[in-house]
């Protein structure tokens, strides 16, 4: 039986896409070394799916950067302290929500 080389190529391509997508944020922010950045840039030049994810991530970052900085009010710290004091002093496994299995 003949082996499907397309299947192997697709698997390699997908794993490369996963690696590139894991590095997109660092690529956008300029944290990658020159060799890795060039590899990401070359992959983005030929992969439509990764290009789309890159554009969406850049747009998301731009939108987040336009949000105003919110300074919490003085009463916010008191509310957090009160919530901490209200929490029972017991091991985490007793106060965590129960795990529901499907």
Residue 85 included in any domain: yes
Residue 102 included in any domain: no
Q: What pTM was computed for the model?
A: 0.56
Report whether pLDDT(27) > 90. yes
Full domain range(s) for residue 30: 5-95
* Closest-CA residue to 28 (of 65, 3, 1, 2): 65
Residue 101 included in any domain: no
Residue 84 included in any domain: yes
Of 8-22, 24-38, 46-60, 67-81, the least confident: 8-22
Residue 12 included in any domain: yes
pLDDT of residue 25: 94
Split into its structural domains, the chain has a count of 1
- Residue range 24-42: average pLDDT? 95
pLDDT of residue 4: 33
Residue 13 included in any domain: yes
Give the residue with greater pLDDT, 76 vs 63. Answer: 63
């Amino acid at each position: 039986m003949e082996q499907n080389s397309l299947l192997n190529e697709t698997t390699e391509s997908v794993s490369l896409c996963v690696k590139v997508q894991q590095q997109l944020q660092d690529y956008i922010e300029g944290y990658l070394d020159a060799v890795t950045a060039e590899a990401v840039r070359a992959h983005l030049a030929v992969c439509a799916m990764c290009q789309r994810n890159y554009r969406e991530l850049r747009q998301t970052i731009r939108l987040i950067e336009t949000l105003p900085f919110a300074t919490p009010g003085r009463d916010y710290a008191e509310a957090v302290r009160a919530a901490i004091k209200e929490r029972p002093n017991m091991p985490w496994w007793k106060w965590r929500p129960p795990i529901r299995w499907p």
